[in-house]
Structure formats: C-alpha cells, structure tokens
Chain A
Amino acid sequence: MKYVIIGNSTAAVGCVEGIRTADREGEITLIASEPYHTYSRPLISYLLEGKATRESMRYRPADFYEKNRVTAMLGRTAKEIDPDEKNVVLEDGGRIPYDKLLIATGSVPLVPPIEGLNGVERQFTFQSLDDAEALDAALFPGCRVLIVGAGLIGLKCAEGIHQKAGHITVVDLANRILPSVLDEEASRMVQRHIEAHGVEIILEDSAVRFREQEAELQSGRRIPFDILVMAAGVRPCVSLAKEAGCKIGRGVRIGRHCETSVPDLYAAGDCAEGIDALTGEQKVLAILPGAYLQGECAGKSMAGQNAVFDRGMAMNAVGFFGLHILTAGDGDGEAIVSRGPGEYKKLVVKDGLLRGFILVGSIARAGIYTAMIREQTPVSTVDFQLLREKPQLLAFDRQERKKQLAAAH
C-alpha cells in the first residue's frame, strides 16, 4: 500500500501515527513545502518570547520519520493531484504515485486588500516559522508595531513580541477581542489584562489606508508604526483538493471517516471542513487537537480500518501574560455565570446537556466539563450543584465513577 500525505503539521503527523497503528508495512511518503522537521505552529509566539527554541518546538522527536518509516520530501511542493492516474505531481515535475492520499494543506493568512498595503515594506503575517523568524529579525528596541486583528493569532503575536517591541497597537473591527472564543464579559476581562501589560487595543475600527509608516483608520485616527503584522484571519488551502474534484465548502468537505468526495482522497486539519458534533453542520474548526484527531482518523481509515471522528467541536486553551483561558463548545443555551477576583466562569446548558463553557483564571480539571459535552452526558444523571461549584468526579453516579476508575484504560 502506498500512502501519500501532503502536509507536515499536526494532521499529517496524526495521519502517520494513525496509519502505523494499523499498518506497519505500507510505504508512507510525506510532501511539504516547508523544509523543516515537523514543528508546532502555535509555538511560534513562544519562540519569539524566548519560552521555546527551534529544538523544543519540534512537534515530534528528531527520529520521527525514521521510526515510522516515512519518506519525508521536505521543501518540495505538490502542484497537482491526478485522481485518475492516482499520483501527485510536484512543482519540480516529479510524480508520486499513491493508493491513498491525505490532503493536510492547512491554511494561509488572509490578507484583505487595503489601499496602500503593498507599499508597506516591513509587513508580516504570523503563522509559520518563517513568518516568525522574519518578524523577529525586523524587531528593534523601541520599535512601534501595529497588529491588524485581535484574534488568537494577533494577540499571541503581541504577547510573543512585547518584550522586544517599544509599543504595540492591536486594531480590530469587531467590538471585542477573541470574538470567536469568548463572550463579551470574558473578552473585556482578558482585554484589560492584556492592556495592563502595555498592549494598546483599539476596537470597532479598522485600517482603511496605509502609507509607508502610518495607518489611517476608519475613524480618521492615524497610527504610526515601524512594523505591520497582518493577522486578520486565515483561509483554508483548498486549491489542490478543488482541482482534484473534491467537494469544497469553506474547506474541503469531509465525512465521518475524514474521506473527501473523491475516492481514496482524505483531508484533515485546518484545510478540512468536518462535522461539528454540537450543531451537526459542516464547519472548519481549525483547532490543533481536532487536526490531530482528524489526521489520525484519516490515517486509520486509509489503512482500511473503520475509524470514525464525529466528536469535533470548538475548544481552545490559551493564555495571555499568565492568565489562563479554557473554552469548549458554544454559547447556545442557558448560561450559568459565576465570578470571582480575576475569575470568570460560564457554563451553558441546552436540552439537558452541557453545551459549552468559558473559564478564565481558574481552570483546574476543566476536562471533566469537556468530557460531559463530548460524551453528551445528561445533566440529570449528575449532581449538577457540585459540578457548578467545580469540576469533580464526585458529581457522577457512584457506580459509574467506580467502574470508570477501576477499568484498565
């Protein structure tokens, strides 16, 4: 069996490990444009902050490819998939035949067309190791950095560079930071915390015009800068899949086995649009744990197993300047909110099930909540008063709990 994987990040690694649980013999070839050993993308902000090194941010040990007998074609770019001949055409003309193929092409920064943007020389995006190192090299003591986008990428970038920059301004058109992750109250709380560390945040405003070292905002306000970071969003890389005939929504549409609409083609990770377990809708979730699990499921499926991944849902673990934030699910339902000094907690219940939560500050044992959402444990079967207080196994039915803790896992 010839397996080919396009991509070299989380979903690709999940796929390799998934294949190898079922097939020790088949040939695995991995093709990736980046010339690097697999690394963790979210760690680029930690790299700039000095909390990770090129070495420590490897996503798997140095001998990963060798141990899993993967032919890693790094620094090579796939140009086209030929689903009739079943091979991948490389930019340099080579052809790699496959029996089963995973498309794990990820996403690329979405840079909106803004007047004058092309004339800004020192502009960067913040998604890859190359992006991070280019930005790092451009920073200088006292430099003024403007970041467009107050989502996860923009704000983690701000944290990563705050010790190396003179002043950081973050601008976003939304009325709150991290709108896809937090509700308004939690957003305000996290915003104040980030601002207290010297990062300026401007909301409900956007850059409409750039000059070499100045942005003009919709409000008329002018922001001078030395360095510009565009973090306005990402776009799934679907062109290879699209040209191969795969059904595309916002991302490459995949089913429960992570299969695409074209036989023997699978997709996983940020490029893929899987089923959101909470709503049943096709959605690009673009989160790292989901990418791994999709990749692993695809790998097992490619190796002939009946693997299913239907538990995809939004979840995020993120922190800024020591403040931890954990979220899962969504906010569609009845909210139960509690607050403490530096703490915010919201549980969301709908139709007798825990549907989502937001925890800021106090995060211990949150996985017990996440498991309730994932397993769709009816609230009526647990002591919800206890669970509201804090996540604890005591809240579960005694027999069930004892059985779980006594089982060999």
Chain B
Amino acid sequence: MKRIYVNEEWCLGCHLCEYNCAFANSGEKDMVKALKDREISPRVQVEERGNIHFAVSCRHCEEPLCMKACIAGAIYRGEDGAVCIDRDKCVGCCTCVLVCPYGAVAPSAEGAALKCELCLQNACGQPACVSGCPNGAIVYEER
C-alpha cells in the first residue's frame, strides 16, 4: 500500500506539515479560522535538534500494535490499508500511546486518540502533509 515516508535530508524544519495536517483534520474551510489562536493537534510532528529535522507520523504497520492492544476495539484497518481510530468507540485510555513504537498516536483533550489516517476520510482526500511540503521531504508512495 502507499505510505508516507520522510526524506530527512530535505526537511527544512518549517513545520508546515503540522499546520496542514491540523487544518485538513479540522473540518474548517478556512485555514486561518481553523488554526489562528488555537493550540493545534497535528497527527504528524517534526522532531528537530540542531540541523536535523524530520517528520514522524503513523507507519500504518502490517502488524499494528495499537490495533491489537486497543482495549475498546476502536482501532481498525480500513479497506485501503490505513489504520484508523473509530472516534465513537475510543474512550481515550491511551493504550495505543503506550504501545506505538514510533510515538505516532497522540492523546487529545477531546478524549479520543489522534493519529494519521492518510487524509483518506477527510476533505483533503490525500495526505495534506505531503501535498503541502515545499521541499519534497515527505512523500506518499508504494515501497
């Protein structure tokens, strides 16, 4: 399946992927309205130190520990292969946060955990972090 991969050398550390992710998942039509004066909860995050930057998001593992460990049965693999969270079922216990080796599932103030779902179910239709990356440092491809 197509997944998101990062080219660490090309990452500028601009954090646009985080903003585009938060916007794509906000349900808002206007980026300013969606993000201004808000603490954003992106499902991709840039790690950085000195001149190293890279974005991390869900790997959509073949054997997803988050899915196997979920106490509510709220994490499932969609027909397209993407590992997704059913927000109506998730009770926010954060077992997924406890087991994901990439640190790619995040707790959220609203309760249900957040993770990258490849933008397949939001209005974007393709990963917003990828289409908005100015330097091709995040790609969406088959490997």
Contact = CB atoms under 8 A, between A and B. Distances in A.
Interface of A: 13-14, 40, 42-43, 46, 51-52, 56-60, 288-289, 292-293, 296, 315-319, 324, 326, 328, 363-368, 370-371, 374-375, 386, 391-394, 398, 402, 405-409
Contacts of A13: 73
B5 A405 contact: yes
B69 A409 contact: no
A368 B101 contact: yes
Interface stretch (B20-28, B31-39, B102-110): B102-110
Given A367-B97, A367-B102, A392-B103, A293 B68 contact: yes
A185 B34 CA distance: 40
B56 interface: yes
Contact of B88 (A56, A324, A370): A56
Contacts of A363: 94, 97-98, 107
Across the A-B interface, the 5 shortest Cβ-Cβ residue pairs: A365-B103, A289-B69, A371-B101, A367-B100, A59-B73
Interface residues of B, number: 40
B116 to A, nearest CB: 13
A43 B72 contact: yes
A326 B97 contact: yes
Most buried by A among B47, B72, B73, B95: B73
B12 interface: no
A56 B59 contact: no
27 contacts: A51-B91, A51-B111, A57-B72, A58-B73, A59-B73, A288-B69, A288-B71, A289-B95, A293-B69, A296-B68, A316-B98, A317-B94, A317-B95, A317-B98, A319-B94, A324-B107, A363-B94, A363-B97, A364-B103, A365-B100, A371-B101, A394-B52, A398-B52, A405-B54, A405-B102, A409-B59, A409-B60
A42 B102 contact: no
Given A364-B103, A367-B100, A43 B71 contact: yes
Given A42-B71, A317-B94, A394 B49 contact: yes
A323 to B, nearest CB: 11
B92 A370 contact: no
Nearest to A390: B103
Nearest to B55: A405
Contacts of A365: 97, 100, 103, 106
Given A40-B72, A364-B103, A408-B3, A393 B56 contact: yes
Given A317-B94, A364-B97, A370-B98, 14 more contacts: A43-B71, A52-B89, A289-B68, A289-B69, A317-B71, A328-B98, A366-B98, A367-B101, A374-B101, A392-B103, A393-B103, A405-B6, A405-B59, A405-B102
Nearest to B143: A408
Interface in B99-142: 99-103, 105-107, 111
A67 to B, nearest CB: 12
A328 to B, nearest CB: 7
Given A319-B92, A368-B102, A40 B73 contact: yes
Contact of A52 (B54, B69, B91, B100): B91
A46 B91 contact: yes
B93 interface: yes
B62 interface: yes
B1 to A, nearest CB: 8
B30 to A, nearest CB: 28
Contacts of B94: 317, 319, 324, 326, 363
Contacts of B100: 365, 367
Contacts of B56: 393, 405
B94 to A, nearest CB: 5
A256 to B, nearest CB: 18
B44 to A, nearest CB: 12
Interface string B81-95: 000000011011111
